[in-house]
A = this chain, B = another copy of it.
């Protein structure tokens, strides 16, 4: 398959460039009979939308999504769901300068070598704008999963040097950072203000979890649940690392410490992050992502142009000083899409499985 489809049974195929006329997606394989309307998708799109605080890019896109098919009289029909967002705030004149230059740490150089041609306006297809469609599609998956008692949500767990602990899920959506610890907000605000003064950017760490999962999701040996989640999460712009549970912390752990012992009352710990042998255990599924600092900064950088000549690049325009800030809804979407696909795949093969063994949490 070409690279713009995600999933096997519940699939999302997307199109669209940053400064083209529109972004779109086709969601195929959605079970019929689920109530669905545009507002269901708009909620997460608004969470991802730029321009909602001074800490994100000031590009203003209403990101108004239309459902063009697959929903009839308020419920899904089982046929493919067509989604469309028109691009309204394009300002392509801002980007003309970089036509022949490769911005460092961007995809300009690699797209050029891969395809020979590229839509240089705003990064074209490699722009983070593309993620709007992931969020719209993910909202459909989230809604179906929620009806099964499965909740997917995320938060920023580190911004630069500032580690953030999960103190209050309620707080996450009430600040522009998706920060789950209200006490950290002043520090985050100050940090971002300084960053802007420095005209620089910074990395971040985002955590996504799913609760209420049944044991059994995941298709060993190659399509393990964690392997496919890693695929989905690593496919998000700027992500450089993905880990589950204790993640890279396991390197220094001993087996006697790492193993999550079980009692009839439940698991005694969750170092594994909810996956054993590539299959969900029923514990909370926990993934962490590392996002690199925004590549678009106004500090001049050395590069070359398409002719191989040295150039100095200064990236103007409106950019997020930390791409990680708006990444939480996107990470949630990719987790929801992966879980949805695996829910369908699991029941296809294992519909008749019945075990009397109790399920632990």
Answer whether residue A261 sits at the interface, using C-beta atoms and an 8 A cutoff. Answer: yes
Give residues of chain A (221-253) contacting chain B, Cβ–Cβ below 8 Å.
Answer: 221-224, 226-235, 237, 240-253
Once the chains are docked, how many angstroms separate the CA of A68 from the CA of B257? 37
3 closest Cβ pairs, A-B complex: A107-B277, A3-B219, A241-B243
Answer whether residue A57 sits at the interface, using C-beta atoms and an 8 A cutoff. Answer: no
Give residues of chain A (254-278) contacting chain B, Cβ–Cβ below 8 Å.
Answer: 254-264, 268, 272-273, 275-278
Among A78, A130, A354, the most chain B Cβ lie within 10 Å of the Cβ of A78
Q: A77–B125 contact, CB under 8 A?
A: yes
Which of A13-21, A44-52, A167-175 forms part of the interface with chain B? A13-21
A47-84 contact mask (Cβ, 8 Å, vs B): 1 or 0: 00000000000000000001011101101111111101
Q: A107–B351 contact, CB under 8 A?
A: no
Given contacts A160-B252, A277-B110, A344-B349, contact A105 B15 (CB under 8 A): no
Once the chains are docked, how many angstroms separate the CA of A231 from the CA of B290? 16
- A276, chain B: closest CB distance, angstroms: 5
Q: A115–B235 contact, CB under 8 A?
A: no
Q: B117–A77 contact, CB under 8 A?
A: yes
- A240, chain B: closest CB distance, angstroms: 5
Q: B227–A264 contact, CB under 8 A?
A: no
Among A217, A262, A263, A351, the most chain B Cβ lie within 10 Å of the Cβ of A262
